Structure 1
């Protein structure tokens, strides 16, 4: 049963974390103290419940809490070796845990345990950090809050910061919290309700003061030509830039991207001071750990030509990498972790918006959200004073902190298709849906394209949030739809790595009954539709320079000659030869092109349910409900082929196991001797 104090803490944390004005994703931590029964002695034991390392306040559950014995935690003050050996104290927290201890204690645990208050909140609100990063932040804190909130000069998170805040609380009994220079806020209370009320008061009071006293153009006068492009134009420009940007930010390791053209970003890039402010970088540790110390900013207006923008981005990327390496070498010591990569995680394009990157779609999206937080902080600081983030040397100490390195080592190994973006056509049902499901389970971001937009979105929702999959309408017989589906992948996930040409339909008729329209519709969807999608995808894959995969879901009918099936089988044979042709053409770009040849997949198939099943059952003289079993009986293995079996083949073909394979067709037909490849 959850302790009452812990239950109150979780509820408070969820309320605070649900509002981005209070704190950013996974930012800050909260705690509660209370008395419980020691299962060993049967006596009372005073405990601290505190959000553990890596958790998020908005989604915090009991599993995300670290549980420590307060007497042992406070006893660490007697063995604290000083600032130079701060990191040792995090390891020491393990000796203060109660029972199994719950989640891993974070670096801020000392702050919560040493402050003499039953409830403590440490948050990263934009309004609070705006004061914390202002050049005259100490004076502003006094002016805005009086003695109710006390200024704490910048100190790296750790045991000493906990001691500092505890001392302030003791010296200022009427204070309800602090502004932590360059960092955020801390508040406390005698009850959970009072603590939350104090946190919100600090945040709201700071925001109100900025609104009332701030100057009207904190980012400077608008730059001519830097105003936002019209929405359709800027999103088209974003899609056109995305492949090149994906290439440059993946120089050291592959990254997934996210695009946003929120007004906050566009307004920042319009102001004349945005180059200076962006160069200063972010300040709050949670911000620059996810965005790097500064973004890459294109120094051209949105009206510049696409070719000019691309040339300049390539030049700026080289400069960025050189600057980042110089930054690392300025501050690295022999004990520092190796440089993790010199590519930017945030790219700002005036008139267009912001691209952000990470190891997966959620990380990329959150990096962008953090930079929006940073823009809001800069706005508040510049409105009242002058934005002055912490020193670059301090940023390096945190970015390459051994504790951050240890957090990275605790991350699970990436899945086989991590960082890959897949687009599957005809994916709202049947084989396509099974393929999309498997690729998402393998770690890929998936675009489900289908004729039916509603069904596509529903299928995507079954796989998870929009960080996992999105659904789009796409008729592969329409070039504009094909282009739009590819653009959707570029804007949602920053790029494209893997396309599965699965969209199809079938009409089973004898030759003399097959009309020109029957022939045309099947070839337009499967042969020409696959060609259109492959052409659009190849343009992206080539510009990205990261290789990639194109997979055709063909059929055993591409090599097997059966009756009453001329149009369908000829279209499938066309697809099969496209595999060979494109494998030969795209291999020089590192793009693999392979195919899968299933036998009749009856269960879950939109094609079979749409009349094809009845037609084929009539050809073979069996009841339609027995068609799957009929197909199974005629195979060597006597097994029915299901959508999941085709998805398994796609997973293997596009994974590392067959990294040197292209131009291959894999039969997934349970063994049809007449369809053996030769």
Structure 2
């Protein structure tokens, strides 16, 4: 896990006892993971590290010098050894003879695979020459907020000299690539005593021949910058001082819950997006400040920040002192359209004849005064990480403005990175999105056998899932299990009693804040009861109706409200029962409530169709394994009804079916996946029986 220490100074975490006996590549990995464990050093996926190591050539058996360098797309905080590309240094040096000048530098990337050592399949990144040509064994390249604040100031060269003297040098802005690698080599040769260099509008390089010394040089350099800003910025109002006051936390979340589905709908017409909300102190200080709009318009500076946050954020017109949320919502569509038009104009101003086609023109970052920051991306992790990178940018702007004037990356330079053909090639290598990528699902009864199996099926296909259940202990156990397998980003929980109108509304609001909205609703909360009609109490009858009929109505009504705000369609799946179609002795309340569910689904299918909201039903039968309703009293009652014992009940149900097969939670989950996915995009008002065959429940 990434750690952020409470103290302002970075502390060395190097442990000689751990490092003793490590190979040089092992020390590189150790150093990399230590650097990446603190967001003040670099954010997720940011920066890269390398070591030049003597290795055995697999063909000749001779010792050769090999560059181990973070491969394309990796993260130094979490990577393992297989995340490093490995290249022969003699071949990398020979590449200089192929270099035809800066206008042809991109072609050098095509030569890198020819320098691969030991058939390593890890692709080398564009930053490989920056590490290869520094004449030191160990090199760190990171993006600390304190250093980028220096690099992004208009007088960054003078600040670098003032803070570091001759120990750390400075190079002007240059897009990462082969030419910058040669610049770094030239700087090192001309300044043999230098320990590193600040790259304007970019970040920090440090080096040494010893792994630990390189690591601690990086930390010491960052600490010097932190100390400088703490001293120089003391007493200086951040961002020109406060214009707005932050609303109370509950109000902030309530407003975000209204804004996020509306924004999500506006920007998800082509591909579904997932949202993230941040109302941390850092964000609130910025969005409430006098200079926020001026600084936001300048965009970010560091390429790592820019690629994840786009050219600039969209500032939502909201006045927390005079909150008119309905008016703000009404103004969202023209604001989003204006941003898209501005982005398209930026593309037209900066494009080259061979530039890739215009990409998604929607904003990634949305700043809301008094409330916080909303970020949207194609998946939850990217939305969260994009927000973290903008927090880095906020920290950079605060420090730069305290001692100088902040400057963003020049527009043409920003475009040339965003639409770099090498970046386009990297994007083209991304795996094809899974079938439910960008979708958000809520599963009621999510802690039960069918609910958890359905959630797992959706997670396997790339969805984010909100698990809802009345049993909070079982809910947490299910979340921990699924998060451990699919990642904490994509699984959330909310306690929900489906018969409580306010609880259902709160659950949807929570889902809006956590993920941005909803696309798939699985109504699965349930109970089961068995009693002859003359022994069925009014309380038992009402309980079945409250949970299995009224509960499904409340969950669906709230779903319709949010789905219509988004305006991008959706899918509702009712997990009903064979008993909704086929009568069963001794279960009048249960069967009637399940029949009510099925007819409610038909009614909702009619109402939802004009808005692209599909409503379908899965009818299970006798799903005993993992199901909470098949424990305790219900199991005893059904065993008594069919004159068998608990152990014989599943076999009785299996033999009763036409196919003589048991029905498992995973079988119901498969049907729920089909009805939620685009595989059934032209189906609504339908029923799928998953009961191993029961002639009484045939729908025709």
Question: Shorter-chain TM-score category?
Answer: over 0.9
Residue 98 (structure 1) shift: 0.4
Partner residue of 2:506?
484
**TM-score of the superposition, structure 1-length normalised?**
0.98
Residue 485 (structure 1) shift: 1.5
Partner residue of 1:116?
135
Partner residue of 2:160?
141
- 1:228 equivalent in alignment to 2:246: yes
Partner residue of 2:406?
387
Looking at structure 2, the residues matched to 218 and 657 of structure 1 have their Cα atoms a distance apart, in angstroms, of 52
**Maintained 8 Å contact 2:272/2:437:** no
Partner residue of 2:607?
585
Partner residue of 1:132?
151
- Which of 294, 306, 309 is the matching residue for 1:276? 294
Residue 455 (structure 1) shift: 2.1
Greater mean deviation of Cα atoms: 428-437 or 301-310: 301-310
Partner residue of 1:407?
426
Partner residue of 1:217?
237
Partner residue of 2:617?
595
- 1:178 equivalent in alignment to 2:200: no
**Maintained 8 Å contact 2:271/2:438:** no
Partner residue of 2:313?
295
Partner residue of 1:249?
267
1:442-492 Cα deviation digits (max 9, x unpaired) = 111000111122321221221223312112211111112211221221111
Looking at structure 2, the residues matched to 354 and 617 of structure 1 have their Cα atoms a distance apart, in angstroms, of 55
Residue 299 (structure 1) shift: 3.0
1:264-303 Cα deviation digits (max 9, x unpaired) = 1111011100000000011111111111110101133224
Looking at structure 1, the residues matched to 622 and 60 of structure 2 have their Cα atoms a distance apart, in angstroms, of 68
Question: What is the DSSP-based 3-state SS (H/G/I as helix, E as strand, rest coil) of the residue aligned with 1:471?
Answer: strand
Looking at structure 1, the residues matched to 607 and 382 of structure 2 have their Cα atoms a distance apart, in angstroms, of 35
Looking at structure 2, the residues matched to 547 and 420 of structure 1 have their Cα atoms a distance apart, in angstroms, of 11
Looking at structure 1, the residues matched to 294 and 123 of structure 2 have their Cα atoms a distance apart, in angstroms, of 39
Looking at structure 1, the residues matched to 364 and 258 of structure 2 have their Cα atoms a distance apart, in angstroms, of 19
**Maintained 8 Å contact 2:524/2:574:** yes
1:229-285 Cα deviation digits (max 9, x unpaired) = 101111011101111110122244321111111111111011100000000011111
Partner residue of 2:188?
169
Partner residue of 2:695?
673
Q: Counterparts of 1:217-366 in structure 2 under 5 Å? A: 217-223=237-243, 226-302=244-320, 303-366=322-385
Greater mean deviation of Cα atoms: 286-295 or 306-315: 306-315
**Maintained 8 Å contact 1:64/1:102:** no
Which stretches in structure 1 are left out of the alignment for 5+ residues?
A: none
**Maintained 8 Å contact 2:316/2:332:** yes
1:392-445 Cα deviation digits (max 9, x unpaired) = 000000000111111111111111111100000011121111111111111110
**Maintained 8 Å contact 1:29/1:51:** yes
Looking at structure 1, the residues matched to 195 and 473 of structure 2 have their Cα atoms a distance apart, in angstroms, of 51
Looking at structure 2, the residues matched to 109 and 514 of structure 1 have their Cα atoms a distance apart, in angstroms, of 75
Partner residue of 2:227?
208
Residue 168 (structure 1) shift: 1.0
Residue 43 (structure 1) shift: 1.1
- Which of 78, 97, 103 is the matching residue for 2:122? 103
Question: What is the DSSP-based 3-state SS (H/G/I as helix, E as strand, rest coil) of the residue aligned with 1:582?
Answer: helix
- Which of 176, 192, 197 is the matching residue for 1:157? 176
**Maintained 8 Å contact 1:218/1:379:** yes
Looking at structure 2, the residues matched to 345 and 19 of structure 1 have their Cα atoms a distance apart, in angstroms, of 24
Partner residue of 1:498?
520
Partner residue of 2:531?
509
Question: What is the DSSP-based 3-state SS (H/G/I as helix, E as strand, rest coil) of the residue aligned with 2:555?
Answer: helix
Looking at structure 1, the residues matched to 268 and 314 of structure 2 have their Cα atoms a distance apart, in angstroms, of 14
Partner residue of 2:682?
660
**Maintained 8 Å contact 1:30/1:120:** yes
Partner residue of 1:30?
49
Looking at structure 1, the residues matched to 619 and 270 of structure 2 have their Cα atoms a distance apart, in angstroms, of 36
- 1:90 equivalent in alignment to 2:81: no
Greater mean deviation of Cα atoms: 308-317 or 10-19: 308-317
**Maintained 8 Å contact 2:277/2:514:** yes
**Maintained 8 Å contact 1:250/1:343:** no
- 1:73 equivalent in alignment to 2:92: yes
- Which of 439, 448, 451 is the matching residue for 1:432? 451
Looking at structure 2, the residues matched to 113 and 102 of structure 1 have their Cα atoms a distance apart, in angstroms, of 19
**Maintained 8 Å contact 1:49/1:67:** yes
Partner residue of 1:528?
550
- 1:441 equivalent in alignment to 2:460: yes
Looking at structure 2, the residues matched to 561 and 457 of structure 1 have their Cα atoms a distance apart, in angstroms, of 36
- Which of 633, 644, 650 is the matching residue for 2:672? 650
Residue 659 (structure 1) shift: 0.5
Structure 1 runs, 4 residues or longer, greater than 6 Å off: none
**Maintained 8 Å contact 1:546/1:590:** yes
Looking at structure 2, the residues matched to 412 and 490 of structure 1 have their Cα atoms a distance apart, in angstroms, of 27
Looking at structure 2, the residues matched to 593 and 137 of structure 1 have their Cα atoms a distance apart, in angstroms, of 59
Residue 102 (structure 1) shift: 3.9
Residue 312 (structure 1) shift: 2.3
1:301-320 Cα deviation digits (max 9, x unpaired) = 22421111112222211110
Question: What is the DSSP-based 3-state SS (H/G/I as helix, E as strand, rest coil) of the residue aligned with 1:100?
Answer: coil
1:639-666 Cα deviation digits (max 9, x unpaired) = 0111000000001111111100000010
Looking at structure 2, the residues matched to 19 and 45 of structure 1 have their Cα atoms a distance apart, in angstroms, of 34
1:40-63 Cα deviation digits (max 9, x unpaired) = 111111001000010001101011
**Maintained 8 Å contact 2:580/2:598:** yes
Looking at structure 1, the residues matched to 510 and 475 of structure 2 have their Cα atoms a distance apart, in angstroms, of 13
Looking at structure 1, the residues matched to 120 and 664 of structure 2 have their Cα atoms a distance apart, in angstroms, of 46
**Maintained 8 Å contact 1:603/1:643:** yes
1:89-109 Cα deviation digits (max 9, x unpaired) = 111111111021241111110
Residue 3 (structure 1) shift: 7.7
**Maintained 8 Å contact 2:138/2:207:** yes
Question: What is the DSSP-based 3-state SS (H/G/I as helix, E as strand, rest coil) of the residue aligned with 1:507?
Answer: coil
Looking at structure 2, the residues matched to 350 and 458 of structure 1 have their Cα atoms a distance apart, in angstroms, of 37
Partner residue of 2:642?
620
Question: What is the DSSP-based 3-state SS (H/G/I as helix, E as strand, rest coil) of the residue aligned with 1:151?
Answer: strand
1:484-530 Cα deviation digits (max 9, x unpaired) = 22122111111110000000001100100000100111111110011
Question: What is the DSSP-based 3-state SS (H/G/I as helix, E as strand, rest coil) of the residue aligned with 2:529?
Answer: coil
- 1:398 equivalent in alignment to 2:417: yes
Question: What is the DSSP-based 3-state SS (H/G/I as helix, E as strand, rest coil) of the residue aligned with 1:542?
Answer: helix
Residue 14 (structure 1) shift: 0.5
Question: What is the DSSP-based 3-state SS (H/G/I as helix, E as strand, rest coil) of the residue aligned with 1:219?
Answer: helix
Which stretches in structure 2 are left out of the alignment for 5+ residues?
A: 1-20
